[in-house]
């Protein structure tokens, strides 16, 4: 998705479109007379994105046989041509019921992204991925088992270090995320086009900058924002213990924050605060060490966050952004943890961004 950043700055002429899709994500027609809606995205949720939508009652729609793809669209002021557009996602609707009144009938829908399919499907027998299996091939096989085929995977040629086993009743989403974790990948997510995505974990400051929220003449964020910080319990030592094979001692990895520039480091606090995790699946000692560094970074990031309201822009969870408030001499690089989007014209999106603390 390539969008000229200049069209995202300044006055907005905007609209929404809601497409009805088949269960194979093929376009059917627009969804008519949508009253309002809201979409929520969060790395803290099992189903990363979802929301609710209110629309006019249409008796010909079987909500069990369709999906919905909302689009945010920016228009030219003069001729109403589209300047930019991006999809919020492909959502599975749940219709608890309809409301009828003298002025008409409406339907209130709950929406879930396609991770729902994997989270609701539990294995009926022990699921085993043998040692040496291509990790992403194993992920693809689980996705295809729920009759989904759209997977965009960044393959680093990683194989599973030891047999991985899940008991009867485990969800297929948990299986996939365990596999990805063992390779030091991000958890599975679904993009705006309804494609399942896997990406290797990248240190926050090594990710490409998604957006700069700067309070200059082109600022698109509200001057009213919140900052919360709690460094007290943030660890500066992470100890991970892997899986033992046979009589061998379980591998272990230790990540230390000894950066004198970091307020959380041993040098600045004068004491070690530890976090330990056992039984970590990793395809190699190198991966286990990388996961330990990742845990240290993640445990540090949760201590400082900004809640900001901004004009709508296309962002993805875990993206790196820069935030600047020159009035209070505040500048921070942050990772996007969650955001909410309202379909009311003229509304702003609310973002929660956690500050990247150097470790």
pLDDT one-digit tens code per residue, 257-295: 999 988 899 999 999 999 999 989 898 899 999 999 999
| Residue with token string 């009743």 | 169
Who has greater pLDDT, 340 or 247?
340
For the cut 80, the answer to whether the pLDDT of residue 85 exceeds it is yes
**Of 49-58, 112-121, 169-178, 186-195, which range is least confident?**
49-58
| 211 and 184 Cβ atoms separated by less than 8 Å | no
pLDDT band at 175 (very low <50, low <70, confident <90, very high): very high
Average pLDDT of the residues in 50-58:
92
What is the pLDDT at residue 302? Answer: 67
What is the pLDDT at residue 176? Answer: 98
| 186 and 201 Cβ atoms separated by less than 8 Å | yes
Q: In a 10 Å sphere around its CB, with 0-12 CB exposed, 13-18 middle and 19+ buried, how is residue 255 labelled? A: buried
* Distance, CA of 124 to CA of 120 (rounded, Å): 12
pLDDT band at 11 (very low <50, low <70, confident <90, very high): confident
pLDDT band at 230 (very low <50, low <70, confident <90, very high): confident
What is the pLDDT at residue 358? Answer: 64
* Distance, CA of 341 to CA of 304 (rounded, Å): 23
Identify which of 203, 284, 179 has the alpha carbon closest to the alpha carbon of residue 242: 284
For the cut 90, the answer to whether the pLDDT of residue 300 exceeds it is no
Average pLDDT of the residues in 337-345:
96
Identify which of 278, 245, 255 has the alpha carbon closest to the alpha carbon of residue 161: 245
What is the pLDDT at residue 229? Answer: 84
For the cut 70, the answer to whether the pLDDT of residue 245 exceeds it is yes
For the cut 90, the answer to whether the pLDDT of residue 97 exceeds it is no
117 to each of 43, 167, 270, how far by Cα in Å? 18, 19, 48
* Distance, CA of 246 to CA of 220 (rounded, Å): 58
* Distance, CA of 13 to CA of 11 (rounded, Å): 7
Phi then psi for 182, rounded to 5 degrees? -65, -20
For the cut 80, the answer to whether the pLDDT of residue 179 exceeds it is yes
Q: Is the C-alpha dihedral spanning 63, 66, 72, 78 positive or negative?
A: negative
131 to each of 70, 158, 175, 255, how far by Cα in Å? 41, 11, 15, 26
What is the pLDDT at residue 105? Answer: 86
What angle separates helix 135-144 from helix 172-182, to the nearest 10 degrees? 170
pLDDT band at 232 (very low <50, low <70, confident <90, very high): confident
Other CB atoms within a 10 A radius of the CB of residue 350 amount to: 17
pLDDT band at 104 (very low <50, low <70, confident <90, very high): confident
């Amino acid at each position: 998705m390539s969008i000229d950043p200049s069209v995202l700055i300044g006055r907005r002429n905007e609209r929404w479109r809601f497409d009805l899709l088949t269960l194979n994500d093929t376009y059917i027609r627009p969804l008519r007379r949508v009253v309002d809606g809201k979409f929520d995205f969060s790395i803290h949720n099992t189903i990363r994105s979802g929301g609710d939508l209110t629309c006019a009652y249409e008796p010909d729609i079987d909500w069990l046989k369709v999906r919905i793809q909302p689009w945010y669209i920016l228009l030219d002021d003069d001729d109403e041509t589209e300047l930019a557009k991006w999809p919020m996602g492909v959502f599975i609707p749940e219709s608890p019921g309809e409301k009828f009144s003298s002025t008409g009938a409406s339907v209130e829908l709950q929406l879930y992204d396609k991770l729902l399919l994997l989270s609701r499907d539990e294995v009926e027998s022990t699921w085993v991925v043998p040692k040496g299996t291509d990790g992403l091939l194993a992920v693809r096989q689980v996705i295809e088992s729920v009759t989904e085929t759209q997977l965009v995977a960044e393959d680093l040629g990683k194989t599973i270090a030891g047999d991985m086993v899940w008991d009867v009743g485990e969800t297929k989403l948990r299986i996939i995320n365990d596999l990805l974790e063992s390779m030091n990948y991000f958890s599975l997510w679904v993009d705006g086009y309804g494609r399942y995505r896997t990406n290797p974990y990248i240190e926050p400051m090594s990710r490409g900058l998604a957006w700069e929220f700067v309070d200059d003449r082109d600022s698109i964020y509200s001057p009213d924002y919140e900052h919360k910080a709690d460094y007290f319990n943030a660890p500066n030592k992470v100890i991970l213990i892997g899986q033992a094979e046979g009589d061998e001692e379980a591998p272990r990895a230790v990540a230390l924050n000894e950066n004198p520039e970091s307020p959380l480091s041993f040098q600045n606090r004068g004491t070690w605060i530890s976090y330990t995790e056992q039984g970590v699946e990793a395809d190699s000692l190198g991966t286990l060490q990388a996961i330990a560094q990742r845990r240290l970074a993640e445990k540090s990031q949760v201590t400082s966050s900004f809640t900001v309201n901004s004009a709508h822009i296309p962002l993805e969870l875990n993206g790196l952004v820069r935030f600047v408030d020159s009035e209070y001499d505040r500048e921070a690089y942050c990772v996007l943890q969650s955001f909410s989007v309202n379909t009311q014209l003229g509304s702003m999106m609310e973002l929660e961004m956690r500050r990247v603390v150097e470790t």
